[in-house]
Amino acid sequence: MQNNNELLQKINEGYPRFSKGQKKLAEFIREDYDKAAFLTAAKMGEEVGVSESTVVRFAMALGYDGYPGFQKALGELVRTKLNSIQRMEVTYGRISQGEILASVLQSDIEKIKLTMETIDHGAFEMAVDTILKARKIYVVGIRSCAPLASFLCFYLNLVCDDVTAVNTSSPSEIFEQMLRIGEEDVIIGISFPRYSMRTLKALEYASNRKAKVITLTDSVHSPMTLYSSCNLIARSDMASIVDSLVAPLSVVNALVVALCMKKQNEVITTLTTLEGIWDEYQVYNKDELNMVGEKMELSGASENMNWSGEREYE
């Protein structure tokens, strides 16, 4: 995988020997690589005024096997540099309104497939063992990653004894909540482009205190891996106003399931206890819908609703 400067460095080094058409391509990429990353070889040639074959030869002149490898390097270059407005403009410039649903769902499917193909199974098993052995577990995720952190914390609390969702409303609060983190503890940091400096600082602090650090991020080149010995990589590089978090959520699900399988008896005991508490304190009384045959039943209520929408009284 190319780092953010390597592609441009290759272009700069090769520029003197490029043909006239290749130099036009080089200049286009230097100035508009954010746009170039989402063009087919034919479209790029059309944009620059050269043939599709010239674009392919240009990619090969830079050392890539073909255009797909070159386009992937462009994607890596642009991924952390597009702001939300630019990403929205690029995306909606590429697909019509009627294609949005299918395009986004297909992109999410591809992210999960790519994650399945590339995720480090050894790192996954290490993450499970590290969490199981930890005295205390901290989870930090900011902005769009906050729902992932919250989801993970909810289920970790069913499996583990001491879980803290780090409140990230201010930098000072982060360190106040992590004040006593130590080498018997673990922190799970979740961050995707644009990366959060607050999350990075939390991981740095935890690492300095010799705590175990697990990251869920999008690339081995992510800054989140600087302080982590266990990296769970999930693809999340959809170019649009929002980043796809489907693959990261799938990894979180897998993590929770693996933990539950390791602690089956404890989990069953916890759930049984919770069910008893919910019943005793009427937690879901008149607040839970269940399907009973073809009827939709409101728990704790004396009235049911059939499929026609009519209420039936018992």
Beta-carbon contacts of residue 213 (< 8 Å; ≥ 6 apart): 186, 187, 189, 203, 206, 207, 227, 228, 229, 230
> Is 21 in a helix, a strand, or coil?
helix
- Pair of tokens at residue 136: 């205390």
- Pair of tokens at residue 108: 């999410």
Quick one: pLDDT at residue 8?
A: 79
Specify the domain boundaries for CATH 3.40.50.10490 within the chain.
120-267
The number of CA neighbours under 13 Å toward the Cβ of 10 is 18
Quick one: pLDDT at residue 93?
A: 52
- Give residue 183's identity as a one-letter amino acid code: E
**Could you tell me which CATH class the domain 6-79 is placed in?**
mainly alpha
What sections of 221-263 are H helices per DSSP? Answer: 246-262
> Quick check: 67 and 56 in contact, CB under 8 A?
yes
- Pair of tokens at residue 261: 């399988």
Domain 120-267 is found in CATH 3.20.20.100 = no
Distances (CA, A) of 139 to 85, 150, 190, 212, 215: 30, 8, 8, 12, 10
For residue 216, the cross-strand partners are: 190, 232
Quick one: pLDDT at residue 66?
A: 85
Each residue's pLDDT, cut to its tens digit, for the chain (314 residues) gives 344 457 778 888 888 888 899 999 988 888 777 677 767 888 888 888 999 999 999 999 888 888 888 888 887 776 655 555 555 555 555 556 677 778 778 878 888 998 998 899 999 999 999 999 999 999 999 888 999 999 999 999 888 889 999 987 777 788 888 889 999 999 999 998 778 888 988 999 999 999 999 999 988 878 888 899 899 999 886 445 566 789 999 999 999 999 988 887 777 777 777 777 767 666 666 556 666 666 656 555 444 445 444 544 44
Quick one: pLDDT at residue 86?
A: 53
- Pair of tokens at residue 77: 């270059």
Residue length of the chain: 314
- By DSSP bridging, strand 163-165 and strand 186-190 are unpaired
The pTM of this model reads 0.63
Q: Cα(250)–Cα(159) distance, rounded to whole angstroms?
A: 18
CA dihedral for 202, 207, 213, 218, sign (positive or negative): positive
For residue 291, the cross-strand partners are: 296
Residue 46 neighbours by CB distance under 10 Å: 14
- Pair of tokens at residue 198: 């607050």
Specify the domain boundaries for CATH 1.10.10.10 within the chain.
6-79
Quick one: pLDDT at residue 35?
A: 72
